[in-house]
Amino acid sequence: MKTPLWTSIAVAGASLLLGSCMDSGGGGIALQANPGARATLPVFDVTQAGANSAQVEGLYESLGLPRDKDARIAEWHDVVSYVDPEHFLAIPTHAVTDSGRLEKLREMSRGELPDAAIRFDAIDFEALGKVTVLDPDSALKTAAAAFASAGIHLEAATPTVGNTVLTADYTDDGGTAVHVDQKLDTRVSYRFTAANGIPFTGPGAQVQVTFNGKRKVTQLFYAWREVKEGESVKVIPEAEARERIARLLPAGSRIAMRLVYWCPPIESAASTERAQDAATAVGPVSLIPWYSFTGSLPATDATGRVPGATTRERLIPATDDPRYVPSIQLKVSGSGTTQVQASVTATGGRAPYAYVWSASSPEVLANRTASVSYAPLARVVPSTIGPNETVATNESLSVTVIDANGIAVTASQTLPVQARQIVPEPRGKSHGSDASFGCESPAEPEEWTQERVGWQQGMANPGGGAQEFLWRGDDSWPGDYIRPPTPGSLPPTPWTYGDADYSNWGINTANLVLINGDGSPNWLTAMFPGAPQSDYNSNVYLWRPANPGGTVQLPSGFTTVDYHGSWGTRGPNDRLYWLAGLLCDCLDEKVGAGLSPTDRWGPAFGGLHMFTGFASGAAYSAGAFPKAFARNILGVSGPPETILSAWLNASTSTNEGTAAAMGPITTGNVCDIDDYYIGKGSRGPSIPASQITGWWFVHQ
């Protein structure tokens, strides 16, 4: 018997983009100026989270998934994730054998040990041109038949078909400019909508399968929920919701909003971190309506132009019903002192609760209880303060309380304190097996805390290495991306003129860095010492290299700082191979002054292997996306994936926008497109800016 739409719900994939695609064409309910049109909406009760054992067995059989120990098949709480490490994103390459060319390539990465981890492969563009992909009709029929055979009924779903595409522009050995545009695979995604027309979205309701040209499944993610309509709740009127949302965005933002049923990860971060109790780690039992929103920013560069920009998707509950939405009270003390105490009380919603804190102290970041006590820290230029002195500053503290249904409520407070300085710890230039990572998180403590926590949780798995730095709020500076005039040192104002390779402060001092903020084709968000939260995403940006009028924007105006060649491995203490941007639109195609992503960001490469990001708005995943990316590169549930595969696969499995990545090509078409994380596989050479002969770009 066909399952009714309102009792069996799923949502999928890359076609459901909640960042900048929030209009009536995006499958949701785009709200008009009609307050009170929906006085009540139903809550949906979950009857089954994920696949049951028979459906899992059916998926293995119907899709021909391998059972051997080397296959990347992960099952947790009835979620099934599979990636074929050999055929997913299979880009033909060949090894360089010419001895003269090999010596030149080795020289690019001299000193990066162990040498055995560096491989010299070139994209085989002739073979790439012969790659075939499955046609849309065949992909739809093959997927439908496979799911039906597994006992999974998707007849009521709306499937969409897309492709992963590789483009490249390079100069061949004969000096000829070459352009390549090649599809790599075909993916089928499924989107479900409730009977009232409101879509179910989020990482906890995903179904997507990817095929190569021979109908072989190269990637699968299955995490859907069966639900039934429950009792109704009173909906917050649109006009009131807009007022609440406006307080969360920079002044003057144009709000786009719609109603959704957001589905947290079935592997609930809140549950698993709460009690380490597998019995409670199955995610929500009820799904409530939410207002999903973005804001279009009035960002203007020094030339007076207003580039288009949209914030990442955010959510607020569409109801205040205390049966489903918790409320919290935050109490903070310690004003003017060297010790801060805080506690939070939660009521309503569904207990038990998880607690996620954000503050200047690493001890607080790891705290999962309802209270904290800590000594605040401050990032200051070492020459401005003695080693045992404190500095008067404002401490920003927040707590996010997450109930058992995955509903998160945040409160924050800022108070004056006397803080100890964060002391730089020189590491020296280190490569090879000494893996390290970092994070820039300028929106904290009020935004994106869960994404930062997900990243740290993922990288805490074996092989992640040492965290070199975590800069949050006004400790996250534009200068962290800029090599200073004297490499390895600090100029008088490093937040403007650069500290990218100083000690363990800037992005170049770790192998892999996540930027957890907002962005556009032309800029990314940052902060500066003492900046209030209101400056975030309104007054402080790092603009693309060579931006007309200036590259560093502070409230005082624009400053032109040349940071060509700043990102990578080419200077003192530099060991940055991969920069991962959890940023809206930074890798959009042919926008931002009409320039391609490689035109806009390529000039910053100075040995950097790869810059990953999004060619659309980035969605809200409650930390699921960065956690999945980290798990994928480390091989937590199977063989480690390449950096590129891990990024795109994490996007697929969490509905996080349209993933993309770019990197340089050097003589002979050698590149780093198949890089693995440190200790997890080989990587390519570090290509200096002077040796770049082209670029590759991959997007979903």
pLDDT digits (tens, 9 = 90+) for 147-186: 999 998 887 778 999 999 999 999 988 889 999 999 999 9
pLDDT over 90, % of the chain: 59
Quote the radius of gyration of the chain (alpha carbons, Å).
Answer: 24
Q: What is the pLDDT of residues 538-591, one digit of tens each?
A: 889 999 999 988 999 999 999 999 999 999 998 778 999 999 999 988 999 877
User: Measuring CA to CA, how many Å separate 513 from each of 24, 420, 611, 672?
Assistant: 36, 25, 10, 17
**Which residues, in sequence order, are CB contacts of 697 under 8 Å at separation 6+?**
166, 167, 168, 587, 596, 597, 598, 660, 661, 662
Closest CA to 662 of 581, 591, 571: 581
- Tokens 């100890």, residue located: 420
Query: What SS3 class is residue 609?
Result: coil
Q: Domains along the chain?
A: 1-88+134-162+184-312 (no CATH), 93-126 (no CATH), 327-421 (2.60.40.10), 436-683 (3.40.50)
Q: What is the pLDDT of residues 19-55, one digit of tens each?
A: 223 332 333 444 443 434 579 999 999 888 778 888 8
Element (H, E) at 149: helix 136-149
**Which residues, in sequence order, are CB contacts of 276 under 8 Å at separation 6+?**
none
When the pLDDT of each residue in the chain is averaged and rounded to a whole number, the result is 85
Residue 202 CA to residue 244 CA, distance in Å, equals 22
Q: Which amino acid is at 674?
A: D
User: Measuring CA to CA, how many Å separate 304 from each of 69, 251, 300, 307, 540?
Assistant: 58, 18, 6, 10, 16
Report whether 417 contacts 338 (CB < 8 A).
yes
Around Cβ 99, how many Cβ atoms within 10 Å? 7
Q: What is the pLDDT of residues 367-407, one digit of tens each?
A: 889 999 999 999 998 877 777 889 999 999 999 999 988 89
Tokens of 51: 């696949």
User: Measuring CA to CA, how many Å separate 389 from each of 249, 372, 420?
Assistant: 36, 24, 7
Q: Is the pLDDT of residue 127 over 80?
A: yes
Please state which of the ranges 61-70, 205-214, 284-293 shows the lowest mean pLDDT.
Answer: 61-70
Tokens of 427: 């590491």
Residue 5: the pLDDT is: 25
Strands (E), 176-224: 177-183, 186-191, 200-201, 206-211, 217-223
Q: What's the pTM value of the predicted model, to 2 decimals?
A: 0.90
Task: Give the torsion sign (CA, 532, 534, 536, 538).
Answer: negative
Residue 622: the pLDDT is: 85
Residue 421 CA to residue 640 CA, distance in Å, equals 38
Residue 501 CA to residue 150 CA, distance in Å, equals 53
Residue 167: the pLDDT is: 96
Q: What is the pLDDT of residues 314-350, one digit of tens each?
A: 899 999 999 999 999 999 999 999 999 999 999 999 9
Kindly indicate the confidence band of residue 601, based on its pLDDT and cuts at 50, 70 and 90.
Answer: very high
Residue 352: the pLDDT is: 92
Residue 586 CA to residue 544 CA, distance in Å, equals 10
Q: What is the pLDDT of residues 631-661, one digit of tens each?
A: 999 998 888 999 999 999 999 888 888 899 9
Q: Is the pLDDT of residue 1 over 50?
A: no
